[in-house]
A and B are shown apart, each in its own frame.
Chain A
Amino acid sequence: MPSDASPNPDAPAVRVRGLEYRYPDGRHALQGVELTVERGETVALVGPNGAGKSTLLLHLNGLLPGRGRAPVVHAHGPGAASRSPATAGPSVWIDGLEVNPKNAPEVRRRVGLLFQDPDDQLFSTSVLEDVAFGPLNLGMSRDEARRLALECLARVDLADAASRPPHHLSFGERKRVCLAGILACRPSVLALDEPTANLDPRGRRRFIDLIRGLPSAKLIATHDLEMVLALCDRVVLLDAGRVVADGPTRDVLGDAELLEAHGLERPLSLSTERSGWPGHG
């Protein structure tokens, strides 16, 4: 039984049980999602567009609160029957800490959420100011925050960009600044939404290497299955708000039929690798 008051060193980094969510328009986005990410583990979250990947990531941070239960307007419609008992209790724990409004500040410090569009996340007028945003909110002094921000910028190879305004950076640079801004909060879990989307091959390679070097637990929502193959221990396949498959990367990504049924394709490198061994096809 997970405790709900204090973080627990033995608890998994992320634990999701029976998570339900409806969009404000009543559409069922997540239906009883079950998911665990152990400490230090890197897990890929794959699935077609609209499967609920981004919505799930926002839940790790408690950013979509209080809509787990079906909205009242639907209580008498056909959707009323789908209200399951699982929606009544807490559904997400981070390091054993229940995600609820009371714990939100602590949970948000522990979960570093990287948004898909860096412009959503870079709202300050200079790069340094932006990276220091998290540390300042965590209560660090200005000097500490500045030092930590510079350190994190150095980690993403952008120490010389500290005083530049965000609109003068390339897309890849903006993405890395966002990552620095998250690292500056010293998270124990990284939730990355499409980290390699829209990056050029060099930017992508660089970003993958950066992510690989980070020790925290990672949950990566992506369509980039080659990156999944290179980075992830496990793959969770999500479709229409349900977990369809959860297993070791090569098992899930090697199952061409399963992937096709859910709008994905077996990564090319696996296909060519396997074509040498007809017995494994």
Chain B
Amino acid sequence: MLDGSPVESNAQATSKSEPTSSTQVGDGGELQVGDNIESRSSLESRTEAENVEGGRIGATATGGKFIGATTVDEGEGPKTQEAESNSRASAASATGLQENEELTEKNHDGGVKRGGGSTGERDDIDMQDVETGGKEQRVDVTMGDVNSDKSAIEPDAPVNTHVTINVTKFGDTTSTHSTSTATTTSHAITASQTATTTRAAANASQDTTATSQAVGHPGTGGSAIASTSTNGVFGASLSALTTPVASDVGCPQWLQNMLEYLRQSSTEPSWQDLVTELVAHEKASRVSGVSQPLYCNKGLLMNFGRKCPPPFVLPRSRPGSKDIKRTFP
């Protein structure tokens, strides 16, 4: 893509959670089977952090392009906890996509922080800092490292789980015209958690405890775009895409269907200007129809006629005269 600019997915999740069941985290230091920290993308990318099982933290990421980062920090705390998930998404793109979704999950003394950048063709997932209460232990899980050592976390100790998932894209950049959707779900903190999801722009509902959708993808209309950065040559902020471009209104329907795809091809300002010019071009040529000159007006045709040699006119002659024989031998 044109974007070489940094892209940050600032899906941050902070939830206050208090484990109440076997799916709890932090009430004995065990992460039960089925406690999943899952990040997934609906289209190209799918990232999953799952199988947090008694200190075993699994993270899988299958090739995708999405931006997102998740830091799960679950600390030792009281038995009753509330899960509060704040997902903040700001409207992104002319197609109603969103960006800057933050989802925060906090434990009583900890929190789930989600945020990060994106680089690379594929997702990089780092899960690290698995801390056990009092005895902090870290388990660093990198992409593809699904299984961390179960013994890394003592089973009986309260668990401070600090999981960081960094999903990056476009290596060195912080901008994303993001082509995928990342959904991060933390089932590990589920149970009695109540998710409060705030979405600024989309209709997408999040019923999971901690769900973060970051980064939209062409074709995933309505998905969130997570981006915070506006740096770099190609670092045009996707905030420019948060609201529909006024000039896009009124263009032909066939172009309207493609605008989302074109707009999301790059955040480069010149590219956005190019699409805008294309829309204006097509709006002007709407009357002329397909494959006809854009400015086919009367004056233009008059100029064309004047440039042409005068039309051939048969010499007038009276009927029956000999002129006809001379004209048509």
Are A and B genuine complex partners? no
